Amino acid sequence: MISDIATQISEITKELPSDSRLIAVSKFHPEEAIIEAYNAGQRLFGENHVQEMTEKYEHLPKDIEWHFLGHLQSNKIKYIVPYVAMIHSIDSYELLVEINKQAVKAGRIINCLLQLHIAKEMTKFGFSFDECRSMLDAGEWRKLSNIHLSGVMGMATNTNDTVQVAFEFQSLKVFFNELKSKYFTNDNSFKEISMGMTHDYSIALQNGSTLVRIGTKIFGERDYSKSK
Ligand SMILES: *Cc1c(COP(=O)(O)O)cnc(C)c1O
């Protein structure tokens, strides 16, 4: 029998354009659920807690690509740097410096996405467009030998107003194009626009998302009472 998890993954995968990929957001879900998704062919997984992701990494197949999505404290960077595939949540230059330090020690180049604040809510993390421009204009980031900037990430306002959500995703796409032409003209690997979750991923794909981050639709509701 085909599991619900496998069915959801195959449905979402059918909707993806050829240059977009699915990250299955497995935070708060057990390793068995990840294995089900893995057996259905899924290889990219997203988590937002360092300890939880690291334990899963240690137990699960090594060809899984682990994407870190959450707020990252500097004292915990060292735990994920040896294996993480991409960090989506860069919201300051200082964080890049700290990641670079650990990346040099680990002998790895870390793919990072600049997180932009595109939602109306005050609570969401991320650079404003202007803060991000100033950081890139300052140019110091170019000296961070073990950081690779791969693109941008954003979260839309949590609303049923699809016009608003589409507007926010579109603004991130336009900003990505601006960065691409101003700072990354010769870098074809600055190419990711990480946007779209369970409730808005179709709108994100219509607006150029290359990485959708989907949890609930694949794995069901998260049980936060099991939080460590
Ligand atoms: C939890 C989370 C998701 C997945 O959310 P769903 O609504 O369950 O699809 C996506 N992105 C980030 C940054 C998250 O923290």
Q: Ligand 1 centre from 25 Cα, in Å?
A: 6
Q: Give residue-wise pLDDT tens across range 183-194.
A: 999 889 999 999
For residue 153, give the ligand 1 atom closest to its CA.
13
Q: Give long-range contacts, CB 8 A cutoff, 24+ apart: 44-52.
A: 44/85, 46/88, 46/213, 46/215, 49/228, 50/76, 50/79, 50/80, 51/76, 51/79, 51/228, 52/27, 52/28, 52/228
Q: What is the mean pLDDT of residues 48-76?
A: 97
225 CB neighbour count, 10 Å cutoff: 6
Residue 226 predicted with pLDDT over 90? no
Please check the confidence at residue 228 and state whether its pLDDT lies above 60: no
Q: Note the pLDDT of residue 227.
A: 57
- The pLDDT-based confidence of 43 (bands split at 50, 70, 90) is very high
Q: What is the mean pLDDT of residues 10-23?
A: 97
Please, what is the average pLDDT of the chain? Answer: 96
| Ligand 1 in reach of 154 Cβ (< 6 A) | no
